[in-house]
A and B are shown apart, each in its own frame.
Chain A
């Protein structure tokens, strides 16, 4: 009898609590239609999965206007769609091998043709901010270009590239990188190739589109921590709210992020980068300030300011829209099957061995 009373009372008490929570949530969402949905702590709910893929490059090409008209954008986007459609068309099943000497493909495809277009998911439209179809992520300087390197930075970057090496192999092979010793050690390879961080500052900060694939980012928000999960390379950046930065002796690959609210904008301040992270050649004194603002039921505005007096002559700022997606993030196991890094190193050793043998 007592146990039955306990059960009924417990259920009633719990039900009151549950209904009250539901009521509180509903009442919190009332008010102006433009007010974003809010968390129980009153701050805007920034959560969701966002696809950062866009056609808008970081820097504005010289001669381009800052904003595309709807027509211009539509035509360009149709061009991209046409390229994708062409890439999906069948080819001959009885085709021959590609040409010896390479197929002339440029950039990352490395004169060997890379792989098929169907693997890619680089974006289909230009980012829209304040109703404007932007031709660059960079908005300050107003020319949409990253400012110049400081003289010290120029020297530093040049020194990194000119590390002395005994590798005297000269090659006319357009597929090879020209920096001396580029293939000497795993540490000389890009961080993405080593599976340490996603290429293209995909996790950052700043979190940028990489124009290839896996541009999905998921935000989970709690009162004391906001997490930005980047699909590539399964990096979770945890922003400690209202906290102090780590001491300068502690460095992190994605820096140390602390956050606070500025009205309805989440401001994330990141410092304490490692020597190796080197965003676009930055030093370890890089500071990134990001601002996340919900501008629509399925859109965040992401704005970032880069400061590194040891690298750029002035701070610079960029912004772009983060549209929500209903898609899922999947596992990004990279190091677990990194044949590519092995292939690159072994290829260089084979080249050197053959060159030595033919002497």
Chain B
């Protein structure tokens, strides 16, 4: 589908205008662009709260000991409406997270800039993962619309 120049221009203006200057808050005040992280490890806890889900993963350090990092995600409610449940993110599921550490670097917290399974698939998108329905199944199927 070709997009004409005029449509594209309007689109750029509209889509830019639709992004609020201030969301819930700006991530830039919370996380430090000079402290990038790449973390890998199993989930040990999930806090399904708003507007940020917090996923706790256990990360192995170079010396073999482990530490727990808290990863900031987004609001869970839209995902719940798509059929996501606590089963979708089970304890023990291995995750790969890239992002930036909290500006208070004494805290082991980071934003989940990208949160994926080890094979690079993004979370919650209905395809198979530990505990999720089998490939291709719509996780929302069967929950029905209660009203």
Instruction: Indicate yes or no for A touching B, C-beta below 8 A.
Output: yes
- Closest A residue, CB atoms, query B3: A75
Question: A residues within 8 A CB of B36?
Answer: 97-100
- In the assembled complex, the Cα of A115 lies from the Cα of B50 at a distance in Å of 14
Measured between alpha carbons, how far is A137 from B36 in the docked complex, in Å? 39
Secondary structure at chain A's binding surface: helix, strand, loop or mixed?
Answer: loop
- Contact A347 B29, beta carbon cutoff 8 Å: yes
**Does A189 contact B25, Cβ atoms closer than 8 Å?**
yes
Interface size class of B (residues with CB under 8 A): 35 or more
The segment out of B60-68, B111-119, B130-138 that lies at the interface is: B111-119
Known contacts: A108-B20, A199-B24. The answer to whether A120 contacts B7 by CB under 8 A is: no
A16 at the interface (CB under 8 A from B): no
Whether A334 pairs with B49 at a CB distance below 8 angstroms is yes
Bound-state CA distance A55–B15 (Å) is 7
Choose the segment among A22-30, A206-214, A287-295 that binds chain B (4+ C-beta atoms closer than 8 Å). Answer: A206-214
Which of A175-183, A301-309, A311-319 binds B? A175-183
Q: How many pairs, one residue from A and one from B, have CB atoms within 8 Å of each other in the complex?
A: 292
B93 within 8 A of A: no
CB distance from B130 to the nearest CB of A (A): 15
Shortest Cβ gap from B82 to chain A (Å): 9
A238 within 8 A of B: no
Which residues of chain A come closer than 8 Å to B125, judged between CB atoms?
Answer: 88, 118
Q: Is A8 part of the binding interface, using a Cβ–Cβ cutoff of 8 Å?
A: no
- How far, in angstroms, from A59 to B1 measured CA to CA in the complex? 28
* Residue numbers in A under 8 Å from B54 (CB-CB): 337, 339
Asked if A348 and B29 sit within 8 Å, CB to CB, the answer is yes
Instruction: List B contacts of A102 (CB < 8 A).
Output: 33-34, 100
Among B81-135, those with CB < 8 Å from A are: 81, 96, 98-100, 102-107, 109, 111-125
Which residues of A in the span 9-63 have a Cβ within 8 Å of any Cβ on B?
55-59, 61-63
Those 9 A-B pairs whose CB atoms lie nearest each other, nearest first: A175-B28, A119-B74, A110-B28, A347-B103, A102-B33, A61-B13, A113-B113, A110-B27, A121-B78
Q: A213-B75, A330-B77, A332-B51 are in contact. List 9 more A-B contacts (CB 8 A).
A: A61-B10, A61-B14, A64-B14, A90-B120, A112-B27, A112-B99, A112-B111, A116-B74, A339-B72
